[in-house]
Structure 1
Amino acid sequence: MASTTVTGPLRDSLARMILTKVAGPDPQTERMRVHGTPGPRWFAPDRPIRRVHGDASMFAGGLRALLLQSLHPLAMAAVAAHSGYRGDPWGRLRRTSYFLAITTYGSIPDAEEAIAHVQAVHERVRGTSPDGVKYRASDPHLLKWVHLAEVDSFLAAHQRYGAQPLNALEQDQYVEDAALVAAKLGVVDPPTTVAELRELLKEYQPELRGTTQARQAARFMLVHPPVPFAARPAYGVLAAAAVGLLPWWTRLPLRLPYLPLAERTVVRAAGDGLTRTIRWALTSPTLAETGAEA
């Protein structure tokens, strides 16, 4: 009883701190908007996408996805010029989190509305990269790269740090689930199996390189993150876990270390501990009673 009395408020406080960063100042309202709106959903409760996107491993997976996506010069140019990731990083995180939540768990009309909004934003995002190449965010080729990087990252993080890693069939089903949303966004022929995902990632590799913008973004996310001083140690573990999930060939272009032994031991243990702590906080009974859990 004494232990519960001490840890209860700490658990709730940690959960609310995380949720306000991810879902905004009123996470309970956001949750009800996603889960409480009646109507059919794209994905049944037993589909793998719901297990993956609802797990605490998504924190490491999301950071890995951003780092991997930055290696495409045109995708990075668009992010640098239009996303406002430096001026409003938490706002960008909340928008991305809401999109993932509403398309995974929300009613179909709400999910379609979110997709239409993102498509409208993509239509306005266009410009020229520092080396003179024109880009537009609605380009199906760039959309596919962003999708591949996200799916590969979320799956990699879940398989290493998720509470219930997927078996081989479920991994293919996850890629298939994610393809439904990608196709509605405008991705042409998204992969529907892990084998297809891996092959498409290889096809993009010749286009990838570490630009100045990509390295600046990596430094911002990993070295100078916009987090309170007290949270820096935990964020450092998250950053190390995300980097440890990246393929070896991404390290040199982004000027990131490659320490396989440390990543398999110290980093993995620390990342697992942090993910378990986040999961513990976000499954607080108090938050469950109020409907504010993640």
Structure 2
Amino acid sequence: MQDGDPGLFGPASVTWQMHADPMMWVAGVRALYLQALHPRAVGGVMQNSDFRRDAWGRLIRTARFVATTTYGTAEAAREAGARVRAIHGALTATDPATGAVYGVDEPALLLWVHCAEVESYLHVVRRSGFPLTDGQADRYIAEQRTAGAPLVGLDPREVPADRAELAAYFERVRPELAAGPEAADVDAFLRCPPVPAALLAARTALWRPLAGLAYAALPPYARELYARPAPPPDVVTRRLRTAGAVLRRIPGRLRWRLPPKHILRAMERLGPGARPSPYTLQGRVAILDGPGEGTGG
């Protein structure tokens, strides 16, 4: 490996390997569905941005932020975090239930957004067939706690550190969730986003199945709040694994040529050994567990 800046996570992290998986796009849409169920969190978004007209831009900006903080240099990641904190720090919203004005950078709201993203990324990628042991899943959550959470202004001590703490957090916050009018707007957009006439066929053939799969992968309580049905869990799992298998057949070098090309830049900076691959994690499990005992195959 060349001598370069590995960034905040580096090639030895679970984050580095997992965030390169193409099912992260499905996971990102699931995260939006989940985040929209917190009335104050979604209110902060809808009252401070033209989500209905710029939802695509918001999706792309989120993807760029994740790519920069994962594969960029440490300086680039911190600069991206500083920009997000500055934007959030200047914004307020009004609680429709109480009329109270609140800052969108309230720690409780930042924590909800963080946890909804981390849980969605981990759930979809694992359920679709990406090989992660339970220990590696806990490592991923811990990495996001120590390196990712501070970027958006969270105190790592207040952020879940493993699967058990993450599950306990969602149990605590569930009474605050509701599918209000703004969540309905997000749902309507994700189900049928406006596109130019030339892309109508692509929306039907590609986007709707992707968004439908993301919705179906939500936890049962979230689907109950949206009051829309979904296929049985075994059907959803089968569809996720099929989508994952198809997308993973596309060579990484082709997928990574799409903007913003952060993975290719990281490999240029660090050398070919930085190439993300789930097999890297499988090999580490085998080494740590000893011959014949590795859970990664």
* Mapping for residues 273-292 of structure 1, pairs under 5 Å: 273-281=242-250, 283-284=252-253
* Mapping for residues 130-149 of structure 1, pairs under 5 Å: 130-131=96-97, 132-149=99-116
Residue in 2 that maps onto 1:81: 47
AA aligned opposite 2:15 = I
Alpha-carbon separation, structure 1, partners of 2:54 and 2:43: 17
Query: Per the alignment, in what secondary structure is the counterpart of residue 127 of structure 1?
Result: strand
Alpha-carbon separation, structure 2, partners of 1:287 and 1:198: 32
8 Å CA contact 1:73–1:208 kept in 2: the answer is: yes
| One of 69, 82, 86 as aligned partner of 1:116 | 82
8 Å CA contact 2:82–2:151 kept in 1: the answer is: no
AA aligned opposite 1:245 = A
How many residue pairs align between the two structures?
254
Larger helix share, 1 or 2:
1
Residue in 2 that maps onto 1:160: 127
| 2:197 corresponds to 1:230 | no
Residue in 1 that maps onto 2:213: 241
| 2:29 corresponds to 1:57 | no
AA aligned opposite 1:192 = A
8 Å CA contact 2:72–2:262 kept in 1: the answer is: no
Deviates more, 1:44-53 or 1:223-232: 223-232
Alpha-carbon separation, structure 2, partners of 1:275 and 1:254: 25
Residue in 2 that maps onto 1:250: 222
Give, in angstroms, the shift of residue 286 of structure 1: 9.7
Show structure 2 runs of 5+ residues with no match.
Answer: 264-297
Query: Per the alignment, in what secondary structure is the counterpart of residue 93 of structure 2?
Result: strand
| 2:107 corresponds to 1:150 | no
Alpha-carbon separation, structure 1, partners of 2:229 and 2:100: 30
8 Å CA contact 2:24–2:124 kept in 1: the answer is: yes
Query: Per the alignment, in what secondary structure is the counterpart of residue 56 of structure 1?
Result: coil
Give, in angstroms, the shift of residue 292 of structure 1: 5.0
Query: Per the alignment, in what secondary structure is the counterpart of residue 83 of structure 1?
Result: coil
* Mapping for residues 35-54 of structure 1, pairs under 5 Å: 38-54=4-20
Q: Percent identity?
A: 33
**Compared CA separation, residues 109 and 71, structure 1 to 2 (3 A):** same
Alpha-carbon separation, structure 2, partners of 1:151 and 1:60: 13
Please tell me the root mean square deviation across aligned C-alpha atoms, in Å: 2.6
AA aligned opposite 1:253 = L
| One of 49, 60, 70 as aligned partner of 1:94 | 60
Alpha-carbon separation, structure 2, partners of 1:253 and 1:87: 25
Deviations 1:181-203 (A, max 9, x none): 11332223211111111111111
Deviations 1:104-128 (A, max 9, x none): 1111111100000000010122120
AA aligned opposite 1:53 = H
AA aligned opposite 2:241 = D
Residue in 2 that maps onto 1:203: 172
**Compared CA separation, residues 281 and 203, structure 1 to 2 (3 A):** same
Deviations 1:110-150 (A, max 9, x none): 11000000000101221203322322111111000100100
State the TM-score, normalizing by the size of structure 2. Answer: 0.78
Residue in 1 that maps onto 2:270: none
Residue in 1 that maps onto 2:162: 193
Give, in angstroms, the shift of residue 283 of structure 1: 2.2
